[in-house]
Structures are given as structure tokens and as C-alpha cells.
Amino acid sequence: MSQGYFITGTDTDAGKTWATLALMQYFKQQGKSVVGMKPVAAGCGMQDGQLKNADALMLQAHSSVDVAYELINPYAYELPVSPHIAGSINPVELDKVLTCYDGLSRQADVILVEGAGGWLAPINQHQDISDLAKALALPVIMVVAIRLGCINHSKLTYQAISQSGLPCAGWIANCTDPAMLAREENIQTIAAAVAMPLLGVLPYTDLADFDALASFLQL
């Protein structure tokens, strides 16, 4: 049986993809095979005759094994808007996502599933990211963008995750604002407010060096 985690963020652009890629490298350094999955993605472009998402392509490129794009990103939408709007013609069906996840779980030791937007971002007319996470039944890792408003966003997201009944594996502080005032104080405040371990603080960087970022993580 593979080990899996669901990666969610406190908001859009919280840094979920970079955190997921850093986690992928972390597990590789532990000698494990890893696959990244992004079940739902909006803002996709045509490539090789099909819609593909830049973040999902990065997850595919950094996976330990060669897997089909359709398994990594079964729902790729062109419009860069909320998935329930972008996918109005082809809405997300959880059974399809579970089938793709099952296929990936047979090919690697660790599966990291990246959500879309925040925890309550809608994926169709009746369900949101939290429903997707509950269907997968994976421990949740929360990525917090350390910027103005992060304390409120992290406390609300943690509360919602806890209410879902899913285990909270931990959280990652992602320093997205190089000019952030009182950065350490904000991180300490969040650490005291959420009852899950801080897995690492990813420093601000313009370089996509995921091996280096992995060194800041400890699960």
C-alpha cells in the first residue's frame, strides 16, 4: 500500500505546488518513489492536442515513475476561473478521481495530491475541495502563505479541516512575501493556534530548487 497526503492551501497562490514539489524531493531523499497528482486544474493550455496545466506538468516531471498525464490531472480546464465555473460542461466526478488515484497508488510508495485553490473552493455545483479530500481519505498537509492576513486564513482553514474529520498531518509555512514584517512572529502565532506540527518553513526564493527547499522539511 502506498502512503498518501492531500496538500491544501490557505488560499489561491499559497504555494501549494512548490510545497508539493519540495515534499516530493523530500521523500525521494528518503529513498521512496513518489508521484504527484493534481486532480483538478483551471487555467490550462493546449499541448500535444490536449489541455494541460503547468503545475500538473511539473508534478509529472518530478515524479519518480513515468505516468500518463491523464492520471495526474484528470480534470484540466481552460479558463483560469473557479473549477465549478470552468468545468460547467465537464464537471468533476469524484469516482473518476478515485480511479486515477488508485492507478497511481500502484506505481509509487508515496502519492502527493495537490488541491485547487483553498479548502472550500468549489469543484462542481455541489462539492468542493474538502469533499475531494474526504473521498480520498488522506491525511492533510496545510500550506500557509506567510503574508498579511495569514493568521486568520490559517486558523479558518485549520478549523475547517478539523471539522472534516480528516487527520491533520501538519502545516508548512511558505514565505511568499520577501517584505513581510514580523515574519517569525506570525509563524509562531500560527504554530500556537493550530494543533498540528510545523513541518518546515520554506524561505522566499525566486529559484525553483526543490532539492534545496526539501532540506527545510521534516516529517
Residues that are catalytic: 38
Cβ atoms 111, 35 nearer than 8 A: yes
Indicate the burial class of 109 (C-beta count within 10 angstroms; 0-12, 13-18, 19 or more).
middle
Residue 96: closest CA among 121, 60, 127: 127
Cβ atoms 108, 2 nearer than 8 A: yes
Query: Hey, how many other C-beta atoms are within 10 angstroms of the C-beta on 159?
Result: 13
- For the chain, the residue count is 219
